[in-house]
Chain A
């Protein structure tokens, strides 16, 4: 039996004296697709930030891709892909330049950029500055960023926001391919996914904890 991609046991994460996560217990299999739902302030984004190695666990156990976050959380960062709720890039750089920056930083070939842009439908906007993209296009750029870096764990914070129906369908196709490729996907959403074809695992958070898992 393979090790879980994510294993949290009573993980607490505190920032500025406030417990963002108040004891999360969670186990995610490699290659799974999980949706984290809950009301605003329930800890969804904080959970993703913890898994990305950006937020430090204050207590409890937290292991992501075999890395103990309480000791070596910076090591996990290069292996995860983060798609934030806000834009994730340098506003004054073009689409291509942002991806080239990420690819070079992660020792990925620059030749991976063009196919990634094709896949997300941004090839015709590759020389446009990020700040001139629409919100939906910035979301696609984020996906291209994740495709270029070939992350083992995808962390997507409300990825369906700002996407129209066509965008959502495209997104579902992409996630299906990513899962087939072996990556583990965790995303946050206010409501459960409309697309039933994906059949994600769903966990519900409230008060910084997982209160329901299916």
Chain B
């Protein structure tokens, strides 16, 4: 299954771009009209991965690290790598959102609740990375990062409520209306679904690659530590 991840990711991303750029029609509505609607096949999927999949992975891995029965270096690595990849996806979400926003709202940035909250999440994610760099001791670093990973998760529901409660310029629910009816139809809906799958697979592919790098880095650190112990023992001889 793991070997298929890369090819599946490539195929689904290619399908998204082909469908999004050439197969699906232009929009006819005023908002997000014309070719701008093709951003629909990138931005929401990025946001979905950034806010839910990646943060969810970090939170779950952090919680598993904190629970003594499942505590392991694997969980710490997964949480860290997931957060690193999160930074990329959150940044891409904001960038694609700005690209959409400029012709739609006339500004690159608006103090919209969801945009602002997503920007805050980016800083939270960067804070996680800063926290990791501030602690050299692996155990301390892992523990503190895990707790911070849980704390960060508190903010994700706030984003959800922010859309509902705050005055917002953001696109209202485009795919599902409040009553649950689907408002995007035909090829656009299928392309949207393919994009969600594609970007989710891309996320896990990046996560796996980053995780493997981290395993190698930890192995090198362990080897360094073993020789540091021998060196220290020689001091005393």
Please list the residues of chain A having a beta carbon within 8 angstroms of any beta carbon in chain B: 12, 14-19, 22-23, 42, 56, 205-209, 211
For A38, the closest partner residue in chain B by CB is: B236
- What is the total of A-B residue contacts with beta carbons within 8 Å? 46
For B234, the closest partner residue in chain A by CB is: A207
Which residues on the A side are within 8 Å of B233 (C-beta)?
Answer: 22-23, 207-209
User: Shortest distance in angstroms between A180's beta carbon and chain B's nearest beta carbon?
Assistant: 34
Contact partner of B228 (CB less than 8 A), chosen from A17, A23, A206, A211, is: A17
Given A18-B228, A23-B229: A207 touches B221 (CB 8 Å cut-off): no
User: Shortest distance in angstroms between A142's beta carbon and chain B's nearest beta carbon?
Assistant: 26
User: Shortest distance in angstroms between B192's beta carbon and chain A's nearest beta carbon?
Assistant: 47
Query: Is the beta-carbon distance between B236 and A56 smaller than 8 angstroms?
Result: no
- 12 A-B pairs besides A17-B224, A209-B236 with CB distance below 8 A are A17-B137, A17-B228, A19-B232, A22-B229, A22-B233, A22-B236, A23-B233, A42-B236, A205-B236, A206-B235, A207-B236, A211-B237
The size bracket of the interface on B is: 10 to 19
Which residues on the B side are within 8 Å of A211 (C-beta)?
Answer: 236-237
Per the bound structure, the CA–CA distance linking A127 and B225 in Å amounts to 49
Residue from B139, B224, B228, B229 whose CB has the most chain A CB atoms within 10 Å: B229
Which residues on the A side are within 8 Å of B139 (C-beta)?
Answer: 56
Which residues on the B side are within 8 Å of A42 (C-beta)?
Answer: 236
Which residues on the B side are within 8 Å of A19 (C-beta)?
Answer: 225, 228-229, 232
Given A15-B137, A16-B136, A17-B136: A208 touches B232 (CB 8 Å cut-off): yes
For A12, the closest partner residue in chain B by CB is: B229
Which residues on the B side are within 8 Å of A18 (C-beta)?
Answer: 228
Please list the residues of chain B having a beta carbon within 8 angstroms of any beta carbon in chain A: 136-139, 221, 224-225, 228-230, 232-237
Main secondary structure of the interface of A (DSSP, over half): strand
User: Shortest distance in angstroms between A191's beta carbon and chain B's nearest beta carbon?
Assistant: 18
Sorted from nearest, which 7 A-B pairs have the closest CB atoms? A207-B236, A207-B235, A206-B236, A16-B136, A22-B232, A19-B229, A19-B232
Per the bound structure, the CA–CA distance linking A208 and B137 in Å amounts to 18
Which residues on the B side are within 8 Å of A56 (C-beta)?
Answer: 139
For B233, the closest partner residue in chain A by CB is: A22
Per the bound structure, the CA–CA distance linking A18 and B137 in Å amounts to 9
For A23, the closest partner residue in chain B by CB is: B233
Per the bound structure, the CA–CA distance linking A15 and B237 in Å amounts to 22
Per the bound structure, the CA–CA distance linking A22 and B236 in Å amounts to 10
User: Shortest distance in angstroms between A196's beta carbon and chain B's nearest beta carbon?
Assistant: 27
Which residues on the A side are within 8 Å of B224 (C-beta)?
Answer: 17
Query: Is the beta-carbon distance between A17 and B221 smaller than 8 angstroms?
Result: yes
User: Shortest distance in angstroms between A137's beta carbon and chain B's nearest beta carbon?
Assistant: 34
Residue from A22, A205, A208, A211 whose CB has the most chain B CB atoms within 10 Å: A22
User: Shortest distance in angstroms between B143's beta carbon and chain A's nearest beta carbon?
Assistant: 11
Which residues on the A side are within 8 Å of B235 (C-beta)?
Answer: 206-208
Which residues on the A side are within 8 Å of B234 (C-beta)?
Answer: 207
Per the bound structure, the CA–CA distance linking A135 and B237 in Å amounts to 36
For B135, the closest partner residue in chain A by CB is: A16
Contact partner of B225 (CB less than 8 A), chosen from A17, A205, A206, A207, is: A17
Contact partner of B236 (CB less than 8 A), chosen from A16, A17, A208, is: A208
Per the bound structure, the CA–CA distance linking A21 and B236 in Å amounts to 11
A–B complex contacts, Cβ < 8 Å, 28 sampled: A12-B229, A14-B225, A14-B229, A15-B137, A16-B137, A17-B137, A17-B138, A17-B224, A17-B225, A17-B228, A19-B232, A22-B229, A22-B232, A22-B233, A22-B236, A42-B236, A56-B139, A205-B236, A207-B232, A207-B233, A207-B234, A207-B237, A208-B233, A208-B235, A208-B236, A209-B232, A209-B236, A211-B237
Which residues on the B side are within 8 Å of A206 (C-beta)?
Answer: 235-236
User: Shortest distance in angstroms between B78's beta carbon and chain A's nearest beta carbon?
Assistant: 22
Per the bound structure, the CA–CA distance linking A18 and B230 in Å amounts to 11
Which residues on the A side are within 8 Å of B138 (C-beta)?
Answer: 17
Which residues on the B side are within 8 Å of A14 (C-beta)?
Answer: 137, 225, 229
